[in-house]
Amino acid sequence: MIHKCLFPAAGYGTRFLPATKAMPKEMLPIVNKPLIQYGVEEALEAGCHTMAIVTGRGKRSIEDHFDTSYELEHQIKGTDKESYLKEIRSLIQTCTFSYTRQNEMKGLGHAILTGETLIGQEAFAVILADDLCANMGGKGVLSQMVGLYKKYCCSIVAIEEVDMSDVDKYGIIEGEEIEKGVYKISNMTEKPSREEAKSNLAVIGRYILTPDIFNILRVTKPGKKGEIQITDALLEQAKAGRVLAYKFEGKRYDCGNINGFVRATNDFYEAYHR
Ligand code: UTP
């Protein structure tokens, strides 16, 4: 039902400098796998086979990662190291990867609009790869959201409760709980102050969007920091009662900052590599 997943990956990753000076944030590894590969695996598990990636300058290594490296294949053929490439080979064979470039960093909303040529007129998923989501042993977060989309057929954002001291880092929603963990959004505010925030329900980097979002984004005026915010476009859909927020099962790691990255590294090492 949701066939395509968009990965906005054009940001500069300034919170992770100098590591991100010449290397995309999305290629930072958690143990031995880059963040964006975890995202692609989550999308595939949710039924998406087309990965649409919005890149920018200095992001070529993302394209190389999702392509066959003939020299490497030749080099390790028949050795015990071949098994290290098993997962990525299988992704390359199973999925289609397409790319477009965001020429100016005008915000997440603008990055999503840039991806329109790769998506077309169908509902699609969005994964921000630096938000690493894990539901160890259970259904992935995007898969849970696709299940909800089948029931409601409208835009859905993933949310989690954050400390009130952190609300100014997120889009914060208000809404009525219509079933356990599912809210019909009545209002959304991008990075409100603690005093302004009406809740501590924060939007994280997983979305399902209906394609009318593109027409809304086209006329969305730049908001905070001069960026086109996806929150503002979603608010337009929410006014028509067409956006749900979903409190997902699992854990999210903000790998765009050092604390989240280290926590994810430790947890994934414990869970999969010890
Ligand atoms: P972030 O603000 O977390 O990413 O944007 P950033 O700008 O790369 O990081 P910092 O704040 O400088 O450390 C959330 C997501 O939206 C993408 C980013 O790549 C990231 O995945 N994004 C953001 C774009 O693709 N284009 C933009 O213009 C802005």
Who lines ligand 1 at CB under 6 A?
Answer: 8-15, 25, 54, 102, 105-108, 110-111, 128, 130, 256
pLDDT tens digits for 173-199? 999 999 999 999 999 999 999 999 999
CA–centroid distance, residue 10 to ligand 1 (Å): 7
Instruction: Judge residue 52's burial from the number of C-beta atoms within 10 Å of its C-beta, 0-12 exposed, 13-18 middle, 19 or more buried.
Output: buried
Is the torsion defined by CA of 152, 160, 3, 215 positive or negative? positive
Domain ranges of the chain: 4-272
pTM: predicted TM-score of the whole model, two decimal places: 0.96
Q: How confident is the model at residue 58 (pLDDT cuts 50, 70, 90)?
A: confident
Map tokens 């921000």 to a residue: 128
Map tokens 């929150």 to a residue: 231
On the question of pLDDT at 21 being above 90, the answer is yes
On the question of pLDDT at 272 being above 90, the answer is no
First vs last C-alpha separation in the chain? 37
The domain 4-272 having CATH identifier 3.90.550.10: the answer here is yes
The per-residue pLDDT for 67 is: 95
With contact defined as beta carbons under 8 Å apart, do 172 and 189 qualify?
yes
pLDDT tens digits for 123-156? 999 999 999 999 988 999 999 999 999 999 999 9
CA–CA separation, 173 and 119 (whole Å): 26
With contact defined as beta carbons under 8 Å apart, do 16 and 258 qualify?
yes
Name the residue of 16, 128, 170 to mutate for ligand 1: max ligand atoms within 8 A of Cβ.
128
Q: How confident is the model at residue 158 (pLDDT cuts 50, 70, 90)?
A: very high
Is the torsion defined by CA of 151, 115, 251, 33 positive or negative? positive
Chain-centroid distance of CA 185 in Å reads: 20
Name the residue of 99, 130, 191, 217 to mutate for ligand 1: max ligand atoms within 8 A of Cβ.
130
Q: Whose CA is nearest to atom 5 of ligand 1?
A: 11
